[in-house]
Amino acid sequence: MRSDPADYELIAPGTLQAVVALLADEPGKWVPIAGGTDLMVLYAAGKLPGRKLVSIWNLTELRGIGGSPDEITIGAGCTYTELREHDVIAREFPLLASAARWTGGIANQNRGTLGGNIVNASPAADSLPALLAYEAELVLVSVRGERRVPYVGFHTGYKKMRLAPDELIRAISLRRGFSGHLHYSRKVGARNAQAISKVCVAALGRLGSGASGGVIEDVRIALGSVAPVPLRLTGVERIVSGKSVDRELVQLARKAVAAAIQPIDDIRSTAKYRAAVTGNLVAEFLEQLGGSGKPA
């Protein structure tokens, strides 16, 4: 059953200050809407529960990508198209640029926003493993001011997060300094774009140099579609850190991956398939990382 527009109220205050004041006056009553690529699907199906919508689409305070020598700041209202076309994102944060290319089609990329992808909180979202791998920080704003929180741990359960009813995500901050890392990303699905992932992997790694050459010095592995939330494999990372990549380590990592994930059977795939593919992809990442310091 389709929704009736007469059942909904939509306002566009025009400034971030006005929006957060509205959220503070009636916490939980107003649903922010930016690109609408997720909300409008629910609306069209008659399943959008919120009846009071506040537009944040054109708020200048939520747009733009800026930087300093230490970090890049991405406005929560930045679209996938902006991420995909930004030179610094493509050069320094290619996992995020790849995720932006995978998300929907061109129309969705022109409207969908990074902040919206975070608060929609789908465990299958393509951009979220990249944010975990880069150890992003979120800048949250309300009438009380701003606070920064690590993205790791932001999602506490399926569609649950550490965001107060009167808060918005204003920006996403990424620390720079990954030029010496191997960046690995894979999406497994019916297609690379316009398809929800069966499994999504974003990983970073760097081997040591000098006396520690060939040893894994830094590693981050993050997954989508294999748990109720986007997942950082911190246990697997601890197992492989400080070690050289060989067949025994890869097999040990496979077993640790199987123990860390919680895949399910659904319309897109089976838990058994997801578990097998995830193990294969993490193994492929480690093998590429192990070979990254060797002469061609």
Q: What is the spatial distance between Cα 142 and Cα 166, in angstroms, rounded to a whole number?
A: 6
Helix (H) or strand (E) holding 277, with range, is: helix 271-291
Structure-model confidence comparison of residues 47 and 134, the more confident one = 134
| 178-227 tens-digit pLDDT | 999 999 999 998 876 678 899 999 999 999 986 567 899 999 999 999 99
Q: Which of 8-22, 37-51, 98-112, 258-272 has the lowest mean pLDDT?
A: 37-51
pLDDT for the residue 296:
37
Tokens of 178: 């990954």
Q: What is the pLDDT of residues 71-95, one digit of tens each?
A: 999 999 999 999 999 999 999 999 9
Which CATH number is associated with domain 60-175? 3.30.465.10
| DSSP string covering 51-101 | -EEEE-TT-GGG--EEE-SSEEEEETT-BHHHHHH-HHHHHH-HHHHHHHH
Contacts of 81 (CB under 8 A, 6+ apart): 100, 106, 109, 110
Percent of the chain exceeding pLDDT 90 equals: 82
Q: What is the pLDDT of residue 295?
A: 43
pLDDT-derived band at 104, boundaries 50, 70, 90: confident
Model confidence pLDDT, tens digit, residues 1-59 = 678 888 899 999 999 999 999 999 999 899 999 999 988 888 888 888 878 999 999 89
Residue-wise burial string across 112-123, b where 16 or more C-beta atoms lie within 10 A, e elsewhere: bbbbbbbbbbbb
Question: For the domain 5-55, what is the CATH code?
Answer: 3.30.43
* Residue-range domain boundaries for the chain: 5-55, 60-175, 182-291
Q: How far apart are CA 294 and CA 291, in angstroms?
A: 5
Of residues 72 and 103, more confidently modeled: 72
pLDDT of residue 209: 80
The closest alpha carbon to 102, from 208, 235, 201, 219, belongs to: 201
DSSP-assigned letter for residue 3: P
Question: How much is the pTM?
Answer: 0.94
Average pLDDT, the chain: 93
Say whether domain 182-291 belongs to CATH 3.40.50.300: no
